[in-house]
Chains A and B, each alone.
Chain A
Amino acid sequence: MAHGTPFAPAAGMNRGLYSGVQAMAASERRLEAIATNLANVSVHGYKRRGTSTQSFDAALQGRLERQVTTRTRIDFSQGMLEETGEPFDLALFGAGFFALETPHGEAYTRGGRFHIDAAGLLQTQDGFPIAWEGGRGAIDPQGTEVRVDPDGQVWQGQAQVGRLRLVDFADPARLQPDRMGYLHAPADLAPRAREAEVRQGHLERSNVSALDEMVALIATQRSHESAARLMSSIEQGYRRLTAR
């Protein structure tokens, strides 16, 4: 636990305690991310959250302190496609998102279980309409079968209904989930050409691997344990000091 900072005071054990607390807080954050991933393993289009823990020097009250921070990052790798045969189950293959119209501006999702309401409006299970290039495409709910081609073009019989709005971003890691898990883009996030193709009659499974999460779970538990051990040894050191 040597920090080696030139301005560090000699209060060694005390600093060790703080390091231990930071290590335990970091494993708690990791544990929460793992639990979130495991809970969402059956959510279509869910993207796993990875955590990274880093230490850095922070200038605090005129001296440098070693700090530990944990961040979550969304892992946007492709999930497995599962065939369902439902006409409005749309999966994306490759990088990109469906755009949705919400009261809080445009939102993005990869979860592709859409429904069509009585007026022929294609929407998510929470009732947010899907966004189209140009005007909203009107599907005739009483009409013939709807076909969606890989490019996002929607056809009903021989008639072209419109094209779904598919987007991607230069740095999708900066997208922010809202309370329902839909992603929102900050104003300065640059759009980029999407490579995603639509697969009709498929759903994208979550990209959570139970095995990887279990391994991470064990590693987190052990690292928490070592930090806890460290703190008990420091505590024993104090005890010896005060017993004398």
Chain B
Amino acid sequence: MIRAMMTAASGMKVQEMQVDTIANNIANVNTAGFKKNELAFREMLYETLKEPGAKTAANAMSPTGLQIGSGAEVASSVKIMRQGELQPTSSTFDMAIQGQGFFRVLLGNGDFRYTRDGSFRQDGDGVLVTAEGYPLDPRVQIPTDAIEIIIGEDGTISVAKDEATAPETLTNISLFRFPNPTGLKAMGGNLYGATQSSGPVQEVTPGENGTGLIRQGYQERSNVAVVDELVALILAQRNYETNSRAIRVSDEMLQQVNQMVR
């Protein structure tokens, strides 16, 4: 009975983590470029009380044995890198990636971070920075006298200085790809850091080799579908309840044992 209680408690813990994850997904439903988290669960530790094929009597053999698991645990959390919906905005420097790849930004300490949130703006010198002020890398500086800025699908930034002349190519925005993007580490603020498991970063031109295209004037919405999250939330709650029920029954059975002898 005690073992059954521990098993059911592990089941409740797993569902609790599931609710935490869903809550975080729902909280970020309006965060541009947010990728939802999913938990992967696994079975825990089997104890073999009776080996399959063990002799149960002189002429009997147990074909299947008796193996009791000790519950479930969270194996890992997985970032689901599915494309979010593109939403048009009125800002010139809003860029969305349609397909694979990340923007790279430079932190104050010289570290690189990667993001799908393409809502950039200009700082005092005309450099494109994120909402937190981290500059886009490779650095893009827009001349102050530019009147029209065009960002092409392949990342080319062209600038027109007056209406009479044709726009001139200023620079190119690169995208960055990883062999295993689900292995990136979320660092908060919509930024990811490279890890051992994400693999080495590769700089690519947008649109080449299956890399995504850059869409100017769009923002990538989060890929959280609220309805799916709510369904998952209800499921988690019910599973939590059934597991708590198993604890109660274990407790009642233990109580019966204690009441056997008065």
Contact = CB atoms under 8 A, between A and B. Distances in A.
Interface of A: 24, 27-29, 31-36, 38-44, 46, 49, 56-59, 67, 69-73, 84-86, 111, 113, 115-120, 125-126, 141-145, 173-174, 176-181, 186, 210, 213-214, 217-218, 220-221, 224-225, 228, 231-232, 235
Contacts of A213: 242
Interface in B1-46: 1, 3-5, 7-8, 10-11, 14-15, 18, 40-46
Contact of B253 (A177, A214, A221): A221
Contacts of B249: 31, 217-218, 220-221
Given A29-B68, A142-B179, A35 B246 contact: yes
B252 interface: yes
B68 to A, nearest CB: 5
Contacts of A142: 177, 179, 202, 209
Interface string B174-197: 000111101100000000000011
Nearest to A180: B42
Contacts of B257: 24, 228
B179 A72 contact: no
Given A69-B56, A113-B40, A126 B246 contact: no
A38 B253 contact: no
A7 to B, nearest CB: 15
Given A85-B82, A118-B197, A31 B260 contact: no
B64 interface: yes
Most chain B beta-carbon contacts within 10 A, residue among A43, A115, A210: A43
A36 B42 contact: no
Contacts of B4: 28, 31-32, 34-35
Interface stretch (B70-78, B145-153, B213-221): B70-78
Contacts of B7: 32, 35-36, 39
30 contacts: A29-B49, A31-B249, A31-B250, A32-B7, A35-B3, A35-B11, A35-B246, A35-B250, A36-B71, A39-B11, A39-B243, A41-B242, A42-B41, A42-B72, A43-B42, A49-B67, A67-B56, A69-B56, A70-B66, A85-B82, A118-B180, A142-B209, A177-B43, A177-B69, A210-B242, A214-B245, A217-B249, A220-B249, A221-B252, A232-B261
